[in-house]
A and B are shown apart, each in its own frame.
Chain A
Amino acid sequence: MTVRFTLNNADVQLDVPGDTPLLYALRNDLGLNGPKFGCGLAQCGACTILVDGKAVQSCVLPLSGVDGRRVTTLEGLGTADKPHPLQRAVIELQAMQCGYCVSGIVMSAAALLADNPRPSDKEIRDALDRNLCRCGSHVRILRAVREAAAQATSGDPK
């Protein structure tokens, strides 16, 4: 089956079985590094991406589920030249240890901020609760999300 969708603002089409988990299609067929394999069970959030702007766990979503939709991964969020406020804040605050969890966390946070530019501390924590971090970088990551929210709402150009 041929699946067509928009990936990081570019049109793509894939001729692989539609029941392939989206995570494998993104990583192995499309060569992306952002979404990570952590559990394959919708429990850790390492594979989080945006589908039509909503944070989704790509390890349990079949490829066919994004047919005709808009998919964004870490790569599509920003680049070294034009970083997303969250990416900039993570670098500034060095908000990671191993960093393996951070891609998924940043995607969850990006969905939150797009929806709710001034989240409360509780709203941030709730939004990130589906993402696990084993290194204990939580306190710094929370700080980075607050920082990014503050930057974005202070009119910093995106």
Chain B
Amino acid sequence: MTTRRDFIKGVSGGLLLYFHLPVRHADAQDAFTRPAALAANPALESWLKIRPDGIVEIATGKCELGQGIQTALAQIAAEELDVGFERIRILTVDTAHSPNESFTSGSLSVEMSGAAVRTVTAEARGILTELAAGRLGVDAGLLSVQDGAFLSNGVATRLDYWSLVEDISLTGEVSGRFPTKDPARYDLVGQPAQRLDIPPKIFGDTAYIHDMRLDGMLHARVVRPADRESKLNLPERLDDIAAMPGIVKIVRDGSFLAVVARREDQAVRAAQALAALCTWSDPGLLPDRASIGDWLRKAEADVKVVAERSDPDAGTATRNYQSHYNRPFQAHASISPSLAIAWRRGDSLTVWSHAQGMFPLRGAIAALVGLDENDIRCIHAQGAGCYGHNGADDAAADAALIAMHIEGVPVRLQWSRADEFLGEPFGSAMTTEIQAGLDRNGRIVHWRYDVWSGTHSSRPRGSGAAGNLLAARQIAKPLPVPPVSNIPQPSGGSDRNAVPLYSFPNQTITKHLVKNMPLRVSSLRALGAYANVFSIESFMDEIAQDLHADPIEFRIRHLSDARAIAVLEKLHSQMATAALIQNQPTAGVGIGFAKYKNLGAYCAVAMRLTVDPESSEIRLDRAIAVVDAGMIVNPNGIANQIEGGIIQSASWTLKEQVLFGERGVESRDWASYPILGFSEVPDIDVVLLQPPGAPAAGVGEAAQGPTAAAIANAVARATGKRIRDLPLTRSRLLAG
């Protein structure tokens, strides 16, 4: 017999998706505290529908981004309801019927949406069980459920969910009076499950927004300048373009320009022809890319001390160190340029998008196109990985603007590769400066850290922030740009992980939030933590090297956090086992460490690489990561995310910088923005620690900073050259 557990395990029994939830279960008689997502959307029917045909529909406000959220939520629902996993359908996020859960970001989806799904499914089960008990004239406590059918004292009854839901409506506010299952009785949650989204993707079924084909759908392309502030000059008459085959419309609103055609290839050709006719005003010169760090230091900024500590008895410094580090603008560079479909019928508009928040997007689009929010429906469809706030929202807004000029037919807008590079908000350039004073015993007693950066949060969060949309700056009546904001400590935005985990008796950490950045910026995976951890961990290594101290011992010397120490000690022993210690002439091993956000997972990375003495080319051989993400329910899932994080961070660190000149962005394709390829990725081992009793923490962003520092430190060991400017290119090594 196939058990539910077998079903979920799927083909080779290989483990595929685990997840974990904070648990509230029922024996505790505590007052019902609604999971936050539920408090905002308390109606049972907005989350769940049990259909008479044996299917359970779960609506959620979180989008599937390839992270397996749908699979995880299906497991939770099946677990609480005691029905087969295959009966669960997770509906895509649709503002017409989904609960509003704002953005899907920050690695918190399963915990937040999952807690709500668990509570509502327990409620539905409870209501139906009471009903069944009444009908059968037995105590509800005697009833159990097997794949939706009620058993009384273990004996089959004639009642099941599917027939009962014909007589009762599962509606109204969730009371929370029904207990959720005791985790000790879980048989699905915590078990391996194959991700639901993988089979359709690997067989070419409909899986992505790209695969939607609506009747009569037209194809659009936009034409954009290299500098988002440029104004468009274009001849009034465009007869030659309008006469090209298949052209339906040329849409122009201020400096926003797009063309709509019957066929995609026709839209591409027309957009190229249009681009050739455009001239763009010069909005003023951009700063010099090579000295962007100096520019940041001089720019107008909000300055704030985010952490301070002082101990006059800590002793005086006898040795002083100072260094500064630079990070360039870096791109999300999703493997697919952004795409959206918009369809206007009279005064109502439907938009399909792969952005991370359908409700905030709806508000922003309403303000942009001048429709009432209630007349707009935004529906999520999967795109390629996004790694933060990329061009997805902007493409949806562009499609909406275009659709306002086309009545009754859906319009599909595909951004080109160059549109994505020119349009997406980048991860901000950053510069940091660190000063440290050491006492006679080689202990850091004074620490001063300054970080200059643009914002890492400029999402179009609803109508009030519609000015954050790319097109909002281009239309004839531009929308105001919302003031620059930064996520406060302890998570931090530009200052994420700027406060070291090390115990320095005297320290001052200051952030300088630059108000007007030369290029558009927003959240990119790990936000400021990437550059801050790179800086701190490079600096610690420089000092250790100068003192001839072991880099791991030197860090431990300044740590009091037992879990941090355990992670570093484990890394030390793993490196010894893998013989990753010896630095040969051209090979080097470096390490980097951080506790993400100082709140999340501990991650230490060792990287071994070789530097070709002739060409100065860096080759990554092997990475070891030791991770303590608290309670592990998900070893393979954690490993998968850490591997992906190490590879992406290695790519940022060795190769990536957005090129721009005085007149705008010059990175337009994969040749002008190269990323790491298959022949360049290292072998990776991930080791997980699990201290008893520690709650689970997200790991999606934990490896970004430590990997960057490990690479720079390894380069320094291999070559004796300390590169403080990212990326660590060959030319920097040759110059250094």
Please list the residues of chain A having a beta carbon within 8 angstroms of any beta carbon in chain B. Answer: 16-17, 20-21, 24, 27-28, 31-34, 36-41, 43-44, 46, 73-75, 78-80, 83, 87-88, 90-94, 96-103, 106, 122, 124-126, 128-129, 131-142
Contact = CB atoms under 8 A, between A and B. Distances in A.
Contacts, number: 176
Interface centre among B11, B670, B678 (most CB of A within 10 A): B678
Interface in B44-86: 65-67
Interface in B178-236: 194-195, 197-199, 201-208, 210-211, 213
Contacts of A27: 210
Interface stretch (B158-166, B331-339, B555-563, B583-591): B331-339
Contacts of B489: none
A55 B213 CA distance: 27
Nearest to B12: A92
B384 A98 contact: yes
Contacts of B111: none
Contacts of A106: 202
Contacts of B711: none
B263 A24 contact: yes
Given A20-B265, A129-B678, 17 more contacts: A24-B264, A39-B670, A43-B670, A74-B203, A74-B204, A80-B199, A87-B202, A91-B202, A94-B198, A96-B198, A98-B382, A133-B335, A133-B678, A134-B385, A135-B644, A136-B647, A139-B683
A44 B669 CA distance: 10
A-B pairs with the 4 shortest C-beta distances? A136-B647, A98-B66, A136-B644, A100-B384
A17 B678 CA distance: 36
Interface centre among A44, A90, A101, A139 (most CB of B within 10 A): A139
Given A99-B198, A138-B678, A37 B670 contact: no
29 contacts: A24-B264, A37-B337, A38-B337, A39-B669, A40-B416, A41-B417, A74-B202, A74-B203, A74-B204, A75-B204, A88-B11, A94-B16, A94-B194, A94-B640, A98-B385, A99-B201, A100-B335, A106-B202, A132-B335, A132-B675, A134-B384, A134-B648, A136-B644, A136-B646, A136-B651, A138-B647, A139-B643, A140-B640, A141-B678
The A interface, classified by DSSP as helix, strand, loop or mixed, is loop
Given A33-B205, A94-B194, A97-B385, A135 B648 contact: yes
A33 B207 CA distance: 8
Contacts of B618: none
Given A73-B204, A100-B385, A139-B684, A90 B198 contact: yes
Interface centre among B265, B675, B676, B684 (most CB of A within 10 A): B265
Given A33-B207, A99-B202, A103-B204, A128 B678 contact: yes
A76 to B, nearest CB: 9
B578 interface: no
A157 B334 CA distance: 37
Nearest to B206: A33
Contact of B14 (A21, A93, A98, A131): A93
B671 interface: yes
B681 interface: yes
B414 interface: yes
Given A46-B336, A129-B677, A92 B11 contact: yes
A110 to B, nearest CB: 12
Contacts of B471: none
